Structure formats: C-alpha cells, structure tokens
A and B are shown apart, each in its own frame.
Chain A
C-alpha cells in the first residue's frame, strides 16, 4: 500500500462510517403558541381557590421506557400552568382527575428493514421510520367524564450519510419531544378554554 493512499483511505472510511439522522414533524397538528395564564385566577376568575387536580399518565408503545419519558414531558408542560403545576399523580382521589394516554404506532417492519439495509450499506441507502402519536386527554370528576379530546401527529425519521450535518434541533429525539409537547399544549389550551378547571367543575 502506498503512503499517498492512506489519507484517501481514511477519508473514504470517514465517509462510510459517518452518518446522520433527522426527524421531521408531519404537522398534522399545527404548532401551538398558547401561553398559559400566569395565575389561577386568570383561568377561573370567580374562583376563590384553585381546584385540586390529580392525573394519571399512560404510554402505549413498544418501549417501556417511553412511559417515564412521557411522564417527564407532561411534568414539564404542566409546570407552565398555574393550576396544573400543583397537580400530582393520582387515581382520582382529587375533585378533578386527568387521564393522559399517549399511544405510539410505528411501522416497525419497514423501519427495521430499511434500518438494517441502511446500516449494511453504511447509510448510503436511507432508512425510514414513521411514528404516529395519539394523545387522549380525559377530564373526569368522579365517574363523570367532563371532557375528552384526542390529538394526533406523527414524526418521520430519516437516516442517511448526508444528514451528518443536520442541526441538533432536527435530531429525532428533539423533534419527538417537541411534537409531544405541542400535543400537550393543545390539550392545555382546550382545557383552559373549556373553563372546566374550576372548583365548581371539580365539585
């Protein structure tokens, strides 16, 4: 092997082994720029005190770790809300109970096959995965369902060597978290607009 071929070889190996991935939000749900009110009185002007809310978070998907990740996102979004910031996980002991269920459906067969083919070709062939998310929010007081809403969005993940320079906000993890946060913000906005987060509604 000639000396002059070593840089070329290293460049070729770098080219083959470097790869990148990118996530793209499908955008079935528009971006929500809702800013929650600053105080509980803004949500419920006539309220003497904030209602006590508890909530239960459930993740339905292929990965068990998704439950903890979803709970973390819910905690982060609820912290921005004056009433829900005080909410605690529970099973309906409080006057108001929120049930949040995030379902992830993905084309795992296509993702696995294209992922394997992409890996075997050092990402010269792109890999493709689509994750469909469905968030179901149910507000209950006792056994009565006050409000039920569903939000759907999806994230497409592409892996290809040309995406090695993709910016960090386009990383699949960031895009998935942004998508879930956006769905939760939609739910928060609808709950505030419904006026159900009041002591009267909570009984």
Chain B
C-alpha cells in the first residue's frame, strides 16, 4: 500500500515539476543539417517556430518567470524527495 501511495506521489510530483520547471531548460539546438542549409530566398524571415515542448512562460517576461519558477520549486523538491524515498526505502529494508 505504501509503495502504491509513494509511486502515485512520485508520478504526480514529477509530472507537475516537469511542467513547471520546463522553462528553465535551454531550447533544443537545431540539427547540423538544418544549420548547413543555405538560405535560398533572401526576402523572408522564418516564421517563429513553436517548440515541441511549449514553455510555460516567455523569457521576455521576467516577473512571470520568477513567479512560475518559485511556485514550481516545492513540487520539484517533493519529486526529488519521493524518488529518494523510493530508492532508499526498499534498500534500507533489504539491509535490515
């Protein structure tokens, strides 16, 4: 029963933390083939591309980033704590 509860906590906290702290991750770099592609049309700028993993806030909004980052911090800490408990709990039991 405790394992089910712990797994549920870990899953929910991980999902929540991943959603909230995603905006701290750097954007994925373009592939080398894309970078090497010559620009054939000098007239148009590329349309802004949407990231496959949309970030919660824009880097242009510092206040919004600060609020969402700090609001997501406790969830991230819980996720870490749940994972540590899951890892060390059975290990400690096995040692005993």
Contact = CB atoms under 8 A, between A and B. Distances in A.
Interface of A: 1, 3, 6, 9-10, 13-14, 17-19, 21, 23, 59, 61-63, 65-66, 68-70, 72-73, 75-76, 78-79, 85-86, 102, 104, 106-108, 110-112, 114-116, 118-120, 122-123, 127-131, 133, 155, 157, 159, 171-173, 176-177, 180
Contacts of A85: 43-45
A65 B23 CA distance: 11
Given A13-B12, A106-B63, A129-B63, A172 B58 contact: yes
Contact of B48 (A76, A86, A108, A118): A76
Contacts, number: 166
B46 interface: yes
Contacts of A69: 58-60
Given A123-B71, A129-B66, A176 B60 contact: yes
Nearest to B14: A17
Contact of B71 (A75, A119, A155, A173): A119
Size bracket of the B interface: 35 or more
22 contacts: A17-B12, A17-B78, A19-B16, A21-B71, A65-B59, A73-B60, A76-B47, A78-B45, A85-B44, A104-B61, A106-B62, A106-B66, A111-B64, A114-B67, A119-B72, A120-B74, A122-B75, A127-B67, A127-B70, A157-B61, A172-B58, A176-B57
Contacts of B57: 21, 157, 172-173, 176
